[in-house]
A = this chain, B = another copy of it.
Amino acid sequence: MEDFYLDAAFSKEEFKIMDLKLCTLILNDNKLFPWVILVPRRNGVKEIIDLNRDDQHLLMDEIALISNLMKKIFQPKKLNIAAFGNIVPQLHIHIIARFEEDKAWPNSVFGGEVKPYEMFERDLIIRKIKNEAQ
């Protein structure tokens, strides 16, 4: 099987949370919002419709799995889920926990303020998500 190539935007080892069956789950480096990204490990895929139907259903299962995790851990007012890819073409799905008190509510977080994690904060949130997944 061909090696999977992860775009440089997603390949920092210290932001990787875990591998699911289809997707690699990473933490987005913006501590203003609990925000993770699912990247299906299929080369050359830019759109959800570039996946075959089985993979599309598996992607939905993993979106649901991670949505449930995010809901349980962070108890957000709302989950925001999005596949854009206008800038980084490799298919990736954002899952963001939103709160009425957050920096952007009720607007979209895209194109807004970014505040990178301190190393200890990043490791803490990754551990939290990993623990909940077990």
Q: Is A41 an interface residue (CB 8 A)?
A: no
Contact A84 B86 (CB under 8 A): no
Q: Give a binary string over A10-36; 1 marks a CB under 8 Å from any B CB, 0 the rest.
A: 000000000000000000000000000
Give the size category of A's interface with B.
Answer: 20 to 34
27 contacts between A and B (CB under 8 A): A47-B78, A47-B79, A48-B60, A48-B63, A48-B67, A48-B79, A49-B64, A49-B67, A49-B79, A53-B61, A53-B64, A56-B60, A57-B57, A60-B60, A77-B86, A78-B85, A78-B89, A79-B83, A80-B82, A80-B84, A80-B86, A81-B82, A81-B83, A81-B84, A84-B108, A86-B98, A107-B111
